[in-house]
Structure 1
Amino acid sequence: MTVALMWEARAAEGRGDELLAWARAQGLPREPVRRETFRAPQDRVLVVTWWDAGLHDTLPELPAPPDALTSRPPHRWRFESLGLT
């Protein structure tokens, strides 16, 4: 099974580039199958990691960034891949 973990945060005013750099610099204790980083309007940063794992397995996740970089705590979601259509 493939599981995708999504992590999304919104930067504090004027700190979008710093939040993006912080997210890109975060290592994980083991490597996912794939990792992709996205940017969106309103200085949002999204990181998606894909894992060969079960939906409820314990997997490494990005931590919360320093409070000064964000306007709110990050959101996290976990999805089971249903394959390409």
Structure 2
Amino acid sequence: MTVALMWEARAAEGRADELLAWARAQARTLPAPPVRRETLRAPGDRVLVITWWDAEFDAELPELPEPDAELVARAVHRWRFEVVGE
């Protein structure tokens, strides 16, 4: 089974580039490498990191931590999805 973990945060005013750099660095240093990883940005100074894992849905998997409170405008959102065939 493949599980996708999504981590999404909104940067504090004027700190979007800093949050993006922080998220990229954190994603590169996870304690175990995912099968795949993507980092994206969106309007509203949002940063999204998706990691794919060959694991059961409820497996304990490494996730990005919470950034410093000064770097974000709100709490991080996290979702877990199971990949399904077409």
Deviation at 1:73, TM superposition (A): 1.0
Cα shift readout 1:22-68 (whole Å, capped 9, x = no counterpart): 00001100000000000000100000000000000000000001111
How large is the RMSD of aligned CA atoms in angstroms? 0.5
TM-score, normalised relative to structure 1: 0.97
TM-score, normalised relative to structure 2: 0.96
- 1:13-52 to 2 correspondence within 5 Å? 13-26=13-26, 27-52=29-54
What's the secondary structure of 1:6's corresponding residue?
Answer: strand
Where do 5+ consecutive residues of structure 1 fail to align?
none
Letter of the 2:39 partner, please give it.
Answer: T
What corresponds to 2:59 in structure 1? Answer: 57
What's the secondary structure of 1:68's corresponding residue?
Answer: helix
Structure 1: 4+ residue segments shifted above 3 A = none
Where do 5+ consecutive residues of structure 2 fail to align?
none
Letter of the 1:64 partner, please give it.
Answer: E
